[in-house]
Chain A
C-alpha cells in the first residue's frame, strides 16, 4: 500500500516536470532502439543461417588445388558413395553470377529433380533449355514475372534468353532471395563447365552422429578434397555475424556510455528544486527508505517505459521494415538482401540482458545521487 502510494507520487512528480521527463525518455528510447536493433538483427540473421543450412546436406565435399576451390570430377561421387555410412553422394552444379545491369549477385543452381526445400510461389520448376525459376529478389530487381524473359550473359559473353517459369516463395528469404534455378545441363553450358565436372558433392549420411567420421574417411579416400560439415558452416556464419554485430555493439557501447554520463549528469544530478523537495519530504515525516523508493520508482518508470517503447520500435524496424540501415552493415555481402525480412523471433535471454544492462544502471543513477540528500538530517531544510 505504502509502496504504491509512493509510486503514485513518483509518477505525479514525473508529470510535473514534463519537458525534462520527455527529453530523457526520447534519448533513452533512441538508445534502446539502436541497441535492440543490433541484438535482434544479429540474432535473426543467425537464425536465418541455421534455417538455411538445415535444408542443406549434412556434408559438402569440395576439391581444392593450391588452397583454392576447384571443380570436382563427377566420378568422385562414386568413390564417396562407396564409403560406409554414406547413403548418397550427388554432384551439384552451382555458381555465382554478377549482373552488371543491376549490380547484384545471383546464385545460380542446377536442379534436375524437384527439390522439396524449394517451394514455388507461382508457376513451375524449369524443365528444359531456356527455362529458369527465380527468387523474389531477382524478380524484383529485374522487374520480371512468370512467363517473362530474362537475359543473362553467359561464359562466352553472349546473351542467353531464359523464360521465367516460376518464382520462389519467400519462406526463408535468405535462402531463395537471390536464387536462379535451371536444369543441370543448360547451367553447365551457361557456365562453360565440362560435363564430367561439378561444383561440389552433396553427401547424405545415414547416421547424423557419424558425419565427422565420414568426413575423415572422405579426406582419406580423396586427399585433394575438403569435406565441410553443416556444423562447421554454421560456426562460420555465426562467427561472421557475431563479428559484424560485435563491431556495431562496440560502436554503440560508446554511445551508451555517453548516454550514461548524460543521464548521470543531467537527468539525475539533483537540481536545487529536487534537493529541496527531498528535504521537505524528510521534514514532513518521510523515511530515508521512502525517499529512495520514490527515486527508484521514478527511475524504473522512465527506464521501463523507454525500454518497452525502444524494444517495440526495434522489433518493428527489424522484422517489419527490414532494418533499413543497420541490415546493410550486418549482412554486407549482397545487394539483394536489403529487402530481407527475417522471421520475427525474440530471444528472452537477450531481452533480459538488454533490460538488465540498461534499466539497472539508470535506476542506480537515479537513486544514488538522491542518497546523500535523503540521508542528511531534515533540520538542514529549515536553514534554507
Chain B
C-alpha cells in the first residue's frame, strides 16, 4: 500500500545565506499511511513544528520531496498547494489562532469561504462540525469569551469543517490540564476510528504513550532519533 504522505530527505532552513541561518529540519525521510496516528516527539526546538508545516503543505522544503496522495506537492505552485492543504489537511495550531472578535460559528466557517459554497451549505457544515465537538449551543458566542479548552474545540471544529483526510495538531495538550488532555485524546481516538489520519507534535509523554498512537517518531536537532511502533 502506498503511503498517504511521503517525505524524502526533506530539509528546511530558515533564512538561508544569513549568519543566523537555522536548519530546523535536517534531512528527514518519513512515511505516513492513511488511517495511521503518528506522534512527533522531541524536546522544544527539535523541529517538530517545522516538520508539521512541511507535512501539511504550509511551507515548502528547502530541499527534498514531499508527496501527498501520490502527488509531489513540494513542486506545486502556491495556488495548488493551498488547494491541497485546504482539502487534505486540517490544522489545530498550538495557539489555536482563532479570530477573537468573530463568533464560534464564523471562525469555523473561515476555511469554507474559498470553496464556492452556498450560504446554506456553509452553515450546515459549520453546524455539523460544531456538533462533533459539542459546541453547537455556543455557536453565536464570541471566541474571546470562551475558555482555553473550548477554544481548542473550536479550532478542532474549524480543522474538520472541510472534511480533511489528515488532522495535524501542534502540542495539543500544552495548555490543558490532565483531565482535559485525556478528554482531547479520546476525541482524537474517535476521529481516528472514523478513518482520519493523525499527526501530532508533542513533548507530552501522556500523548506519546496513549493507545491511540500507532507510531512515535522521535526528533532531535531536526533529525530522526528513532521511529518506533508502539
Contact = CB atoms under 8 A, between A and B. Distances in A.
Contacts of A285: 82, 85-86, 111, 114, 162
Contacts of A288: 78-79, 82
A281 B114 CA distance: 10
B95 to A, nearest CB: 7
Given A285-B162, A287-B82, A382-B170, A277 B113 contact: no
A204 to B, nearest CB: 69
A282 B98 CA distance: 12
B193 interface: no
Given A1-B116, A285-B111, A287-B114, A384 B82 contact: no
B50 to A, nearest CB: 8
Interface SS, A side: helix
Interface stretch (A2-10, A23-31, A327-335): A2-10
Interface residues of B, number: 35
A351 interface: no
A21 to B, nearest CB: 13
B114 A384 contact: no
A16 interface: yes
B97 interface: yes
Contacts of B102: 16
B115 interface: yes
B113 A2 contact: yes
A66 interface: no
A381 interface: yes
A384 B58 contact: no
B82 A382 contact: no
B144 interface: no
B53 to A, nearest CB: 4
Contacts of B106: 12
B111 A382 contact: no
Contacts of B50: 379
Interface of A: 1-2, 5-6, 9, 12, 16, 276-277, 279-290, 377-379, 381-382, 384
Top 9 closest pairs, chain A to chain B, by CB: A285-B86, A379-B53, A379-B59, A1-B116, A379-B58, A284-B111, A377-B59, A2-B116, A287-B82
Given A286-B82, A379-B58, 13 more contacts: A16-B102, A280-B98, A280-B110, A283-B58, A284-B111, A285-B82, A285-B162, A287-B82, A288-B82, A289-B79, A378-B59, A379-B50, A382-B53
